[in-house]
């Protein structure tokens, strides 16, 4: 059933065979071989948005970080840590509800919103089974696209907390995309933002990863890059699990409770003509402890044509990607088949 991953966590059973790789795919989870910690660049959000003497230098740090790492740790982002704690708390409270309560928000088999495991759209069973997690996904922007039937009524302040968090993240999202455009000296700093504002959407994804007694044989999320414009990740605060691939080596992303992790999405990589890189990342499981994360991600309008911006294509910087049409079904397909839209679009 859709909610079985979460039920397993409650009963403390091992993941069933279908979630387990037959061979050890993640020997680095052996505690005797710890992975290195990623020296993820830290960006002071205030300094990239408040015009001052330091802005140019900080924008250049942002550009350089997004072109080599594709992800940064954002501090001074204006979201109070008490609000971040409340977001984590309401999700934990939701998970602790009796099953009948959670089922009220259950995703339909062919839908994208609500609580459950992701839809499996591939016939390749071997590719489909490789992750052990479940999530609650809700569109938060624009408000008229919210499907309130999937928004939990319990805990009683869930909706209020998500509404407050998503409005703070909307401000951050827009300012970030403008700063990214300015860091590439684009004439119009709303160019990236328009890919979301013109018919696109933003959604929240509350991810839950149960403890897993064999963490070398299963993954919370398999290696992927985000099929988004950008993604903002709120980490667990206590339990680490996110890893990023850089120069063909996996690194652990440090768990800084008050910071937000920003990822470039595949569609921004294409629009930026490869100036920004969409990082490949995965989630590993912890043998004893459960973990959660909350993602706010932005998407283009379904059917929108995505291509490199003219201003970023020149004699010295030839066009790297052909035009691709954004499709959520294709994105899910990429995840399950372990491929990426950026590879498909590459000229
Ligand atoms: C995702 C993702 C990472 C995490 O939801 O796309 O990569 O730490 N999440 O949960
Ligand atoms: Ni991701």
- Which pLDDT value is given to residue 278? 97
Packing angle of the helix pair 158-183, 55-68 (nearest 10 deg): 100
All residue ranges of the chain with pLDDT < 50 are 1-4, 10, 22-24, 27, 31, 119-130
Give me the pLDDT at residue 1, please: 38
Cβ atoms of 93 and 87 closer than 8 Å = no
Nearest atom within ligand 1 for CA of residue 226? 6
Atom of ligand 1 nearest to the CA of 293: 10
Give residue 314's pLDDT. Answer: 94
- Is the CB of residue 221 below 6 angstroms from any atom belonging to ligand 1? yes
pLDDT given at position 259: 97
Instruction: Give 73 Cα–ligand 1 centroid separation in angstroms.
Output: 14
């Amino acid at each position: 059933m859709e909610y079985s991953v979460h039920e397993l966590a409650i009963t403390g059973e091992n993941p069933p065979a279908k979630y387990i790789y037959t061979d050890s795919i993640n020997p680095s989870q052996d505690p005797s071989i710890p992975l290195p910690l990623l020296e993820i660049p830290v960006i002071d959000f205030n300094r990239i948005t408040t015009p001052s003497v330091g802005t140019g230098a900080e924008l250049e740090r942002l550009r350089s970080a997004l072109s080599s790492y594709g992800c940064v740790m954002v501090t001074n982002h204006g979201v109070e840590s008490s609000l971040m704690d409340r977001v984590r708390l309401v999700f934990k409270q939701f998970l602790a509800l009796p099953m009948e309560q959670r089922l009220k928000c259950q995703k339909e088999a062919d839908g994208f919103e609500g609580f459950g495991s992701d839809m499996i759209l591939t016939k390749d069973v071997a590719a489909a089974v490789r992750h052990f997690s479940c999530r609650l996904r809700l569109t938060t922007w624009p408000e008229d696209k919210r499907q309130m039937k999937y928004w939990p009524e319990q805990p009683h302040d869930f909706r209020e907390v998500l509404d407050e968090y998503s409005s703070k993240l909307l401000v951050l999202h827009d300012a970030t995309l403008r700063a990214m455009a300015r860091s590439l000296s684009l004439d119009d700093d709303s160019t990236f933002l328009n890919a979301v504002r013109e018919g696109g959407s933003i959604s929240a994804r509350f991810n839950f990863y149960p403890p897993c007694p064999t963490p070398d044989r299963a993954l919370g999320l398999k290696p992927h890059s985000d099929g988004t414009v950008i993604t903002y990740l709120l980490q667990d605060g206590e339990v680490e699990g996110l890893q990023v691939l850089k120069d063909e080596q996996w690194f652990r992303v440090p768990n800084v409770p008050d910071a937000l992790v920003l990822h470039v999405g595949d569609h921004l990589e294409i629009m930026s003509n490869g100036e920004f890189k969409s990082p490949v990342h995965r989630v590993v499981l912890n043998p004893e402890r459960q973990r959660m994360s909350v993602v706010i991600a932005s998407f283009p309008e379904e059917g929108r044509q995505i291509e490199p911006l003219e201003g970023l294509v020149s004699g010295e910087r030839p066009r790297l990607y052909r035009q691709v049409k954004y499709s959520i079904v294709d994105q899910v397909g990429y995840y399950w088949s372990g491929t990426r839209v950026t590879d498909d679009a590459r000229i």
